[in-house]
C-alpha cells in the first residue's frame, strides 16, 4: 500500500498543500532511486521538456461515502473514493473523403445515444476478492460530437473516473471504440493523482469494435518493466497484448489488422500474366533470403507457391500502426504524382515520337531547365494527338520539371573529372564498396570450371606508370592501392543480362591510387565478359586516356563501372543490408517484446515506417517489371543478384568498425578515439560515421547497463531472448545455423546487437539513400543502365563510335524514358517528409519513458548529435580535406543529423522511412 499512498496521496484527505506543479511522475523501485530529469541543462534547447501543470485535487475530486471524517486510512477497507480525470489526445485527419465525412457524422449521432469511446483504468495491483487486476468503472469520452468540427490537428477529450483510494498505481488503460470509424489515439494523461500526471504514450489507431473481435485495446503507462518486474495486475495484459500481435498465422490479413508474422518473398512475380512475369521465390533452401511481413493473400491461379499480387493503387497489407501517417503519406503521394506524370509522358511519347535517345548534353539539361514536355520538342506533336492530356499537363507544368541535381549545380563539368569519379566512392551515394588492395593482381573466388580462370587481366604494366614512381608492391605496402571489385557478383549473371533487350554489361574491377593529397585517382578499369560468349577476348583493361579516342573509351568504361555500382548499391548495400535485413528484427520485436519492455522502447523510433516502405517496394520497386527491373542493368535478374549477395551477408560484420576492418580501410588501434586507425584518412563516410557510431554505442551502453546491472538478467529475460532467437531462427532462417551470429548472454552482447541495428536503421541507411537524387539525378554522372558495350577496332560499331562519339555515348546510356522514370523515382526516394524524426529526436521526448534517468541520458545523446553536426560543418569547410571541400566539390552532409523537408542531401532519420 505504500506505493498506492505515493500515487493517491494521504495529503489529499489531510488537505495539505499539493506538490509543486513542476514535479514530474516518479516511479520508485527497490532496484534504484531515479533522479529527476528536469534539470535545465543548456543542451536541451533543441528538445525542450514540456511540463504539464499538475491537476489540482480539489474538494470535487474527493468523494466520501461512509466516513464523515476529513481523514481516512488508505490501507483500510473504507469506501473513500478519488476522482481522476483522463486527458485523451486524438490526432485528426486534415483531409477526409466523402465516405469518411459521412461516417464521421454518423459516429457523432451514435455517440450521443451511447455508442461512445469507452475507457477503463487497470491497476498494477491485484484485487484479492476477484483474483484479477483492479479495474475502474468504465467512463466515456465527453463531447465527442461537440468537438467533431474542431479543425485542429490534435483535439483533447476528457473522461472522468472514480476509484477507491486504495486502487493502486494505474498501469494500463483499456479502450473500446464503439464508433464506426477508427481514430488515432496519440496519448492519454491521467490527472488528479498526488504524484502528478501519469502518461500513456499510445500512438496507435484504435479500430471500431466491429473490426476488433478480440475486444478492448490495451495501452500501458510509460513505466518500463523487464518481464520479471511486471506488476501482478499487468502480467496477464502483457501476455494478451503480445498474443494478439502475433496472431494465429492463418488467413488473409485485413488492412485494419495489427498482426505481425513472417513469410518468404513469394509475391514479386505474377505468373498469372505469363511466364515472362514469373519470378523466383526468395527465401528457403534453394534461394536463401530474409523473411518479410506476412500478408496471407491467396495463391496465384497458376502457381500454388506464389502469392497473388495486389497492384497499385490498391494498398498492400502492413500492420495498421506501421502505415504512413497523414503528413508522410501526403508527401509521398505528391512525389508519386510527380513520378506518374514523368512516367506517363515518356510512355506516351514513345508511341508518338521517334526521339527515344538524348541528342546531347543540352537535350539532357532541358529536363531541369525548361521541363520535360515543352523542351523535348514533343509539345506540338502531343497537342495534335492528345489535346486534353496536354491541357492538364500545362496546368501542372511545375510538376514536369526536375530540380537541378547537386552534382551539376555547383560545377556542371565536375562529373567528367577522374578525381570526382573516385571521390564519389568515398563520399557519394555508395561509399561502402571500396576496399584496400592487399595483393595484386586480384583473383576471383568463382568456380574456374564454370567462369574461367581466376586470374585477372590486370598486370603490373597496366598500373605501374601511375604510382608516382613506386613499384606495385611498394604501393601495396604503403596502403596506397584501393579497388572496387564487382567481378564476382556480376559475372554469373552476365550471359543472361546481355541477352536482354537493351541491356549490355561487364563485370568490372576499378583500381585506384591514393595520392599524396589524400585523394584517389582511377588508374585502371578491367571489363570482363562471360568466357562462353562470342567475344574472343572476354577480359579487357582500359587505362586513363592519352588522346581524344581513348578519352571517350575511358568515359564509357567509367559509365559501365557506375552502372555496376548502381546495381550493387541498390540491390545489396541499400535494399538487402538495411531494408530487408532489418525487417525480421522489427517483426520479432513487435511479436516478442511488450511495449513496456525497455529494449522495445529503445528500438521503437528505429522501426518507424520500415514495414510500410518495404511493402511498397515489393509492390512497385523490386517486383517483376517494377522500377528496379525497368531502370537497372540486371533487369529481371535484379533480385537474384540481391539473393546471391545474401549468402555472404554477416550480421556480426554490419557494424561500421567491423565493416571498415573487413574492407581493409581501417586497422584496430587502441590509441585512436574510436579504437580504429583509418588508412584512408580523408574518407568522409567513415570519418563522420565513426562519430555517429560512437555516440549510438554510448547511448545504447548507458541504456542497457541501466536495466541490466546484473549480467544474468540478460539470459533470464524471456522476452528479450525470444526476440533475438525469433529474429535469427525465423526471420533469417536460411542462415540461422551460421556460427558468426553474435551470442546474447550478457549486456555487452546486447549492446553490440542493438548498436548494429540502430546504426543500420539510421546513419547507414541515410548515407546510402538520401544522396540518390543529388548524385544520380544527372544520368551521365551515375548511369544505372548501359545499352552498349565498348566496341573494339574490329567491330562494325567502332566506325559509328569514331564518327560521332557523343551520339554513341548517349546511345549507350539510358533512354529519355528510362532516365525520366528513374530520376522521378529517386527524387521521391531522396525526399525527407515534414514529419521525419532525426537521430537524437523522438516524439514526446520527456515522456516516452517513465524513467527519469533514461530521459537524462537521451538528452545527452541529443546533445552529442548536435555536437557531431557542428563537427561535420567544420570538416566541410576545411580545405585540407579535399574529398569534401574545394571548388565545385559537394560537401559531405549525408551524416549531418538534421535536415529540412525535401531533397537536401543531408539528415539522418531514426529509421528507414523511405
pLDDT in tens, 695-706: 999 999 999 999
C-beta of residue 545 within 8 angstroms of C-beta of residue 553: yes
Residue 90: is its pLDDT beyond 50? yes
The answer to which of 81-95, 138-152, 335-349, 639-653 has the lowest mean pLDDT is 335-349
Residue 530: Cβ within 10 Å count: 20
**Which is more confidently placed, 670 or 716?**
716
User: In angstroms, rounded to a whole number, what is the distance separating the alpha carbons of residues 406 and 139?
Assistant: 57
Q: How does pLDDT run across 423-452, given as a tens digit for each residue?
A: 999 999 999 999 999 999 999 999 999 999
Distances (CA, A) of 747 to 228, 596, 598, 697, 702: 17, 19, 13, 12, 10
Q: Range with the lowest mean pLDDT among 4-8, 106-110, 413-417, 550-554?
A: 4-8
Taking phi over 0 as left and psi of -120 to 50 as alpha, with beta for the rest, 543 belongs to beta
> In the numeric block, which cell numbers belong to residue 276?
515472362
- Cα separation, 442 vs 831, in Å, equals 39
**Residue among 270, 430, 769, 781 flagged as catalytic:** 769
Q: Which of 454, 465, 640, 445 is nearest to 546 (CA)?
A: 465
* pLDDT tens digits for range 218-244: 999 999 999 999 999 999 999 999 999
More confident residue, 195 or 712: 712
- Residue 253 pLDDT > 50, yes or no? yes
Element spanning 329, H or E: helix 326-352
More confident residue, 542 or 79: 542
The pLDDT of residue 517 is: 96
pLDDT at 304 over 80: yes
pLDDT(376) > 60: no
- How confident is the model at residue 817, as a pLDDT? 80
C-alpha cell at 435: 576496399
Question: Is the pLDDT score of 390 beyond 80?
Answer: no
**Which three cell numbers, joined as nine digits, stand for 880?**
585540407
351-376 mean pLDDT: 69
348-371: average pLDDT: 71
Give 831 or 74, the one with higher predicted confidence.
Answer: 831
Per-residue confidence band for 419, with pLDDT thresholds at 50, 70 and 90: very high
* H or E segment to which residue 855 belongs: helix 852-876
Q: Measure the CA–CA gap between 759 and 655, rounded to whole angstroms.
A: 7
How far apart (Å, rounded) are the C-alpha atoms in residues 850 and 200? 10
Please give the average per-residue pLDDT across 880-890, as a whole number: 96
**From CA 638, how far away is CA 571, in angstroms rounded?**
7
Confidence of residue 111 (pLDDT cuts 50, 70, 90): confident
Predicted pLDDT of residue 620: 92
Instruction: Provide long-range contacts, Cβ within 8 A and 24+ apart, for 184-188.
Output: 184/90, 184/91, 184/93, 184/325, 185/88, 185/89, 185/90, 185/219, 186/89, 186/90, 186/91, 186/154, 187/88, 187/89, 187/844, 187/847, 188/86, 188/87, 188/88, 188/89, 188/119, 188/219
CA dist 735 and 729 (Å) reads 8
Q: pLDDT at residue 888 above 60?
A: yes
880 vs 79, which has greater pLDDT? 880
Burial 836-850 (b: 16+ CB within 10 A, else e): bbbbbbbeebbbbbb
Please check the confidence at residue 664 and state whether its pLDDT lies above 70: yes
Alpha carbon distance 911, 905 (integer Å): 16
Q: Which of 487, 612, 732, 765 is catalytic?
A: 765
Q: What is the mean pLDDT of residues 591-620?
A: 97
Which residue is it, cell 518507424? 608
pTM as predicted: 0.89
Please determine, for residue 454, whether its predicted confidence score (pLDDT) is greater than 70.
yes
Element of type H or E holding 321: none
Instruction: Report the pLDDT value the prediction gives residue 704, as an integer from 0 to 100.
Output: 98
**Which residue in 553, 641, 854, 914 is the catalytic one?**
914
Give the pLDDT mean for 120-135: 93
Backbone angles phi, psi at 849, to 5 degrees: -135, 150
Q: Residue 59's pLDDT is what?
A: 32
- The catalytic position among 579, 606, 674, 732 is 579
Distance CA 92, CA 266 (A): 37
The pLDDT, as a whole number, for residue 112 is 78
Using CB atoms within 10 A of its CB, is residue 289 exposed (0-12), middle (13-18) or buried (19+)? Answer: buried
Predicted confidence at residue 42, as pLDDT, reads: 38
Of residues 640, 865, 867, 619, the one with CA closest to residue 763: 865
State residue 38's pLDDT score.
Answer: 35
pLDDT band at 80 (very low <50, low <70, confident <90, very high): confident
Cis bond upstream, residue 313 (ω within 30): yes
Q: Do residues 720 and 599 touch, judged by C-beta distance below 8 A?
A: yes
Quote the pLDDT of residue 648. 96
914 in catalytic set: yes
CA-to-CA dists, residue 180 to 106, 154, 465, 623, angstroms:
8, 20, 76, 35
Known active-site residue 769: yes
Helices within 780-851 (DSSP H only): 797-803, 805-812, 816-829
Helix (H) or strand (E) holding 127: strand 117-127
437: left (phi over 0), alpha (psi -120 to 50) or beta: beta
Read off the C-alpha cell for 459.
Answer: 598486370
List, in order, residues 6 or more apart from 618 with CB less than 8 Å away: 265, 267, 268, 292, 316
Q: Could you tell me the three cell numbers for 604? A: 521503437
706 catalytic per annotation: no
- pLDDT at 347 > cutoff 60: no
Q: How far apart are CA 811 and CA 805, in angstroms?
A: 10
Concerning whether 579 is annotated as a catalytic residue, the answer is yes
User: Residue 883 pLDDT > 80, yes or no?
Assistant: yes
pLDDT at residue number 706: 98
Q: Is the bond into 441 cis (omega within 30 degrees of 0)?
A: yes
Bridge partners of 481?
513
- 887 near 423, Cβ under 8 Å? no
What does the buried/exposed string (b/e) look like for 617-644 if buried means 16 or more CB atoms within 10 Å of the residue's CB?
Answer: bbbbbbbbbbbbbbbbbbbbbbbbbbbb
H helix or E strand, kind and range, residue 173? strand 170-177
- pLDDT at 349 (0 to 100): 52
pLDDT, residue 373, reads: 52
Mean pLDDT of 600-613: 97
Q: What is the pLDDT of residue 87?
A: 97
User: Span 714-719, mean pLDDT?
Assistant: 98
Angle between helices 387-395 and 326-352 (to 10 degrees): 140
**Residue 104 binned pLDDT confidence (cut-offs 50, 70, 90):** confident
Measured CA to CA, the distance from residue 119 to residue 350 in angstroms comes to 59
Give burial (CB, 10 Å; 0-12/13-18/19+) of 53.
exposed
Q: Are 246 and 261 spatial neighbours (Cβ–Cβ below 8 Å)?
A: yes
Q: Among 432, 757, 739, which Cα is nearest to 581's?
A: 757
pLDDT of residue 105: 79
Question: Average pLDDT, whole number, for the chain?
Answer: 87
Residue 438 β-bridge partners: none
Tell me the average pLDDT across 570-583. Answer: 98
On the question of pLDDT at 51 being above 60, the answer is: no
- Measured between alpha carbons, how far is 406 from 902 in angstroms, rounded to an integer? 13
Interval 769-826: pLDDT, tens: 999 999 999 999 999 999 999 999 988 899 999 999 999 999 999 988 888 888 888 9
The residue with greater pLDDT, 638 or 534, is: 638
C-alpha cell at 450: 564454370
Inter-CA distances, 377 with 342, 355, 359, 783, Å: 16, 9, 12, 24
Q: Is the pLDDT of residue 345 over 90?
A: no
User: Phi/psi at 210 (nearest 5 deg)?
Assistant: -70, -25
What do you get for the CA distance between the two ends of the chain, in Å?
Answer: 49
Quick one: pLDDT band at residue 333, thresholds 50, 70, 90?
low
Distance CA 570, CA 148 (A): 46
Q: CA–CA distance from 267 to each of 296, 299, 306, 582, 860 (Å)?
A: 11, 9, 6, 19, 44
Confidence at residue 507, expressed as pLDDT on a 0 to 100 scale: 98
Ranges of beta strands (E only) in 688-752 are none
**Mean pLDDT on 865-881:** 98
Per the annotation, the verdict on 116 as an active-site residue is no
Range scoring the smallest mean pLDDT among 109-113, 220-224, 566-570, 709-713? 109-113
Q: Would the pLDDT of 398 be above 70? A: no
Ramachandran region, residue 452 (left: φ > 0; alpha: ψ -120 to 50; beta: rest): left
DSSP string over 522-537 = EEEEEEE--TTSS-S-
Mean pLDDT of 188-207: 91
Count of CB atoms within 10 A of residue 21's CB?
A: 12
From 199, 342, 487, 574, active-site residue:
574
Query: What is the DSSP track for 16-78?
Result: PPPPPTTPPP----SS-PPPPS----GGGTTS---PPPPPP--GGGEE-SS--SS---TTS--
Amino acid at each position: 500500500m505504500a506505493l498506492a499512498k505515493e500515487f493517491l496521496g494521504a495529503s489529499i484527505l489531510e488537505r495539505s498543500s499539493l506538490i509543486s506543479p513542476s514535479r514530474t511522475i516518479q516511479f520508485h523501485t527497490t532496484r534504484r532511486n531515479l533522479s529527476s530529469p528536469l534539470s535545465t541543462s543548456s543542451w536541451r534547447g533543441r528538445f525542450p521538456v514540456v511540463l504539464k501543470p499538475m491537476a489540482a485535487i480539489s474538494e470535487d475530486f474527493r468523494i466520501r461515502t461512509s466516513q464523515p471524517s476529513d481523514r481516512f486510512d488508505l490501507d483500510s477497507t473504507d469506501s473513500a473514493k478519488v476522482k481522476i480525470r483522463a486527458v485523451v489526445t486524438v490526432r485528426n485527419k486534415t483531409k477526409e473523403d466523402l465516405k469518411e465525412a459521412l461516417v464521421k457524422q454518423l459516429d457523432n449521432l451514435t455517440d450521443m445515444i451511447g455508442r461512445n469511446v469507452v475507457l477503463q483504468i487497470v491497476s498494477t495491483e491485484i484485487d484479492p476478492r476477484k483474483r484479477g487486476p483492479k479495474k475502474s468503472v468504465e467512463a466515456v469520452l465527453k463531447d465527442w460530437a461537440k468537438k467533431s468540427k474542431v479543425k485542429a490537428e490534435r483535439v483533447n477529450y476528457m473522461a472522468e473516473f472514480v476509484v477507491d483510494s486504495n486502487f493502486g498505481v494505474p498501469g494500463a488503460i483499456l479502450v473500446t471504440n464503439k464508433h464506426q470509424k477508427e481514430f488515432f489515439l496519440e496519448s492519454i494523461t491521467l490527472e488528479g493523482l498526488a504524484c502528478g500526471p501519469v502518461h500513456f504514450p499510445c500512438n496507435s489507431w484504435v479500430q471500431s469494435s466491429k473490426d476488433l473481435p478480440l475486444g478492448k485495446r490495451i495501452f500501458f503507462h510509460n513505466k518500463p518493466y523487464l518481464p520479471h518486474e511486471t506488476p501482478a495486475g499487468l502480467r496477464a495484459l502483457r501476455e494478451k497484448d503480445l498474443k494478439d500481435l502475433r496472431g494465429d498465422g492463418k488467413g488473409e490479413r485485413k488492412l485494419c489488422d495489427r498482426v505481425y508474422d513472417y513469410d518468404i518473398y513469394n509475391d514479386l512475380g505474377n505468373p498469372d500474366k505469363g511466364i515472362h512475369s514469373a519470378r523466383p521465390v526468395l527465401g528457403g533452401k534453394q534461394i536463401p533470403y530474409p523473411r518479410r511481413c506476412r500478408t496471407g493473400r491467396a495463391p496465384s491461379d497458376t502457381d500454388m507457391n506464389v502469392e497473388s499480387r495486389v497492384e497499385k493503387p490498391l494498398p498492400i497489407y502492413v500492420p495498421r500502426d506501421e502505415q504512413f501517417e497523414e503528413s508522410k503519406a501526403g508527401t509521398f503521394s505528391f512525389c508519386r504524382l510527380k513520378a506518374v506524370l514523368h512516367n506517363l509522358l515518356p510512355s506516351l511519347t514513345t508511341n508518338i515520337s521517334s526521339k527515344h535517345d538524348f541528342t546531347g548534353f543540352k537535350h539532357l539539361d532541358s529536363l531541369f531547365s525548361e521541363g520535360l514536355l515543352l523542351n523535348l520538342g514533343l509539345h506540338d506533336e502531343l497537342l495534335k494527338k492528345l489535346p486534353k492530356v496536354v491541357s492538364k499537363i500545362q496546368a501542372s507544368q511545375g510538376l514536369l520539371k526536375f530540380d537541378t541535381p547537386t552534382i551539376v549545380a555547383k560545377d556542371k563539368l565536375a562529373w567528367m573529372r577522374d578525381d570526382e569519379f573516385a571521390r564519389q566512392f568515398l563520399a557519394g551515394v555508395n561509399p561502402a564498396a571500396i576496399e584496400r588492395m592487399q595483393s595484386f593482381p586480384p583473383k576471383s573466388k568463382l568456380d574456374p570450371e564454370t567462369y574461367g580462370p581466376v586470374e585477372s587481366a590486370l598486370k603490373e604494366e597496366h598500373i605501374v606508370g601511375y604510382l608516382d614512381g613506386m613499384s606495385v608492391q611498394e604501393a601495396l605496402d604503403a596502403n596506397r592501392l584501393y579497388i572496387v571489385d564487382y567481378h564476382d557478383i556480376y559475372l554469373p549473371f552476365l550471359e543472361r543480362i546481355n541477352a536482354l533487350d537493351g541491356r549490355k554489361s561487364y563485370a568490372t574491377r576499378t583500381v585506384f591510387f591514393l595520392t599524396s593529397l589524400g585523394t584517389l585517382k582511377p588508374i585502371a578499369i578491367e571489363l570482363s565478359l562471360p568466357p562462353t560468349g562470342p567475344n574472343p577476348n572476354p577480359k579487357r583493361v582500359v587505362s586513363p586516356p592519352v588522346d581524344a579516342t581513348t578519352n571517350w573509351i575511358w568515359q564509357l568504361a567509367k559509365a559501365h563501372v557506375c552502372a555496376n555500382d548502381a546495381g550493387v548499391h541498390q540491390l545489396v548495400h541499400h535494399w538487402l543490408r538495411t531494408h530487408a535485413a532489418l525487417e525480421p528484427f522489427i517483426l520479432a520485436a513487435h511479436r516478442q517484446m511488450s511495449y513496456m519492455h525497455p529494449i522495445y522502447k529503445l528500438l521503437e523510433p528505429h522501426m518507424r515506417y520500415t514495414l510500410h516502405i518495404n511493402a511498397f517496394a515489393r509492390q512497385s520497386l523490386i517486383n517483376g517489371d517494377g522500377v528496379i527491373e525497368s531502370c537497372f542493368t540486371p533487369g529481371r535478374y535484379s533480385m537474384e543478384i540481391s539473393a546471391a549477395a545474401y549468402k555472404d551477408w554477416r550480421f556480426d560484420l554490419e557494424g561500421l568498425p567491423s565493416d571498415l576492418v573487413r574492407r581493409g580501410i581501417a586497422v584496430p588501434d587502441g590509441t585512436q578515439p574510436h579504437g580504429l586507425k583509418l588508412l584512408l584518412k580523408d574518407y568522409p563516410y567513415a570519418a563522420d560515421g565513426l562519430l555517429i557510431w560512437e555516440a549510438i554505442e554510448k547511448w545504447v551502453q548507458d541504456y542497457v547497463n541501466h536495466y541490466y546491472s546484473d549480467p544474468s538478467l540478460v539470459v533470464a529475460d524471456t522476452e528479450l531472448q525470444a526476440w533475438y532467437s525469433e529474429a535469427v531462427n525465423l526471420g533469417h532462417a536460411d542462415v540461422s545455423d551460421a556460427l558468426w551470429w553474435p551470442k546474447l548472454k550478457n549486456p555487452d552482447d546486447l549492446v553490440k546487437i542493438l548498436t548494429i541495428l540502430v546504426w543500420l536503421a539510421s546513419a547507414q541507411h541515410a548515407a546510402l539513400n538520401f544522396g540518390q537524387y543529388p548524385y544520380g539525378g544527372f544520368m551521365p554522372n551515375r548511369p544505372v543502365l548501359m545499352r552498349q558495350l565498348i566496341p573494339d577496332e574490329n567491330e562494325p560499331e567502332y566506325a559509328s563510335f569514331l564518327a560521332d562519339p557523343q551520339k554513341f555515348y548517349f546511345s549507350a546510356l539510358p533512354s529519355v524514358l528510362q532516365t525520366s522514370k528513374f530520376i522521378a523515382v529517386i527524387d521521391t526516394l531522396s525526399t525527407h517528409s515534414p514529419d521525419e524524426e532525426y537521430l537524437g529526436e523522438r516524439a514526446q521526448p520527456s515522456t516516452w519513458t517513465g524513467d527519469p534517468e533514461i530521459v537524462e541520458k537521451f538528452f545527452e545523446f541529443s546533445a552529442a548529435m548536435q555536437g557531431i553536426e557542428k563537427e561535420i560543418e567544420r570538416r566541410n569547410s576545411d580545405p585540407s580535406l579535399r574529398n569534401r571541400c574545394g571548388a565545385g566539390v559537394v560537401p559531405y552532409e549525408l551524416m549531418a543529423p538534421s535536415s529540412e523537408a525535401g531533397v537536401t542531401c543531408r539528415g539522418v532519420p531514426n529509421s528507414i522511412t523511405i
